């Protein structure tokens, strides 16, 4: 019988932090969850079953890890902060299905880890992510083709909103397009600052990204499409033609770019923020064929 989680309660969290004289590291963006309702909501929305191998990024003192361990077959918890390892060994000592890795998740070969831990079957990622590296972590999981079923994460609310909006809105950008290309985003819950210790200065949200079986659009050159997307949002106020022409990442003449943009039927003065994912794919396919 697995031990019931104890750390969702603020009193127990404070006791552990005092026992180890732990001090929060600003550079690691540490905000620990102290709300059992939120923890339960994350586990249920991630749809964790006894068959699942879960990767948790930034387990902190092991609060959510305890909940995950009770629900999953195995939990791999990757923690960058060395000073948290003895605490994790203490709080997770009774959970035999947890493996703790003291590494920087951005430097780990996660595809290889998933292969070793789950024989190549898709894993689920669940995390209360450090806000300053949310985007590189999520994009790394997708772009390195880690075998994934879903990513359920606590992130800054503003970033969660950005992941699910469409063309023509002020939050729409390269992140919206990249996330929607690989996954179906769904905001599970908004979480106020008082659910954390210490309290963050911003509101948070839990978002679930369900990995698509196939990317959302057919594009011949994925890397070219993302270069076009980045270039068109790097200079938001410029027209799409000028944004693409000025990009150091692209090698097309003004004429080639104009012809490509004209095929979209939106006029040559359209801005990048008005284009859908399908239209960026059309643009990439056109430019690739004409370059060849």
How do residues 219-257 score in pLDDT, each as one tens digit? 999 999 999 999 999 887 899 999 999 999 999 999 999
The answer to whether 268 and 286 are in contact (CB under 8 A) is no
Say how far apart CA 128 and CA 31 lie, in whole Å: 8
Q: Provide the CATH topology of domain 222-291.
A: Helicase, Ruva Protein; domain 3 (1.10.8)
Q: How far is CA 263 from the centre of its chain?
A: 33
User: In degrees to the nearest 10, what's the CA dihedral of 168, 169, 174, 177?
Assistant: -80
DSSP 263: T
- The confidence band for 1, taking pLDDT boundaries of 50, 70 and 90, is low
Considering only 10-14, 121-125, 179-183, 229-233, which range has the smallest mean pLDDT? 10-14
pLDDT tens, 95-116?
999 999 999 999 999 999 999 9
Q: At what angle do helices 277-291 and 222-234 cross, to 10 degrees?
A: 120
pLDDT attached to residue 184? 98
Phi, psi for residue 209 in degrees, rounded to 5: -110, 110
How many Å apart are CA 99 and CA 116, to the nearest integer? 13
Quote the longest CA-to-CA distance of the chain: 69
CA 269 to chain centre: 33
List, as one string, the DSSP characters of 141-170.
Answer: HHHTT--EEEEEEEEEHHHHHHHH--TTST
Give pLDDT, residue 130: 84
How far, in Å, are 142, 159, 160, 162, 237 from residue 168 at the CA level?
25, 17, 17, 12, 13
Cβ atoms of 270 and 264 closer than 8 Å: yes
* Whole-model pTM over 0.85: yes
Q: Which fold has domain 10-211?
A: Rossmann fold (3.40.50)
pLDDT (average), residues 48-62: 96
- Tokens representing 122? 């898709």
Domain ranges of the chain: 10-211, 222-291
């Amino acid at each position: 019988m697995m031990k019931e989680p104890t750390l969702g309660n603020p009193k127990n969290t404070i006791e552990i932090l005092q026992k180890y004289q732990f001090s929060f590291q600003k550079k690691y963006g540490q905000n620990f969850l102290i709300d059992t309702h939120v923890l339960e909501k994350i586990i249920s929305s991630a749809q964790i079953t006894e068959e699942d191998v879960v990767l948790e990024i930034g387990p902190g003192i092991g609060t959510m890890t305890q909940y995950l361990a009770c629900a999953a077959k195995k939990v791999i918890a990757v923690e960058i902060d060395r000073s948290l390892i003895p605490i994790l060994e203490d709080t997770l000592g009774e959970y035999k299905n947890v493996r703790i890795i003291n590494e920087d998740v951005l430097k780990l070969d996660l595809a290889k880890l998933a292969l070793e831990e789950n024989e190549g079957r898709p894993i689920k990622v669940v995390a209360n992510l450090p806000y300053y590296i949310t985007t590189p972590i999520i994009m790394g999981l997708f772009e390195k083709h880690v075998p994934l079923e879903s990513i359920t994460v606590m992130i800054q609310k503003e970033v969660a909103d950005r992941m699910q909006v469409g063309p023509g809105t002020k939050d729409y950008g390269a992140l919206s397009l990249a996330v929607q290309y690989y996954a179906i985003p769904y905001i599970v819950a908004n979480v106020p600052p008082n659910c954390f210790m210490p309290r963050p200065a911003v509101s948070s949200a839990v978002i679930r990204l369900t990995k698509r079986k196939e990317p959302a659009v057919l594009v011949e050159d994925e890397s070219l499409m993302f270069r076009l997307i980045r270039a068109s949002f790097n200079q938001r106020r410029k027209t799409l033609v000028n944004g693409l022409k000025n990009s150091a990442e692209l090698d097309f003449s003004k004429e080639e770019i104009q012809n490509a943009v004209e095929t979209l039927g939106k006029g040559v003065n359209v801005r990048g923020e008005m284009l859908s994912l399908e239209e960026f794919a059309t643009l990439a396919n056109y430019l690739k064929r004409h370059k060849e």
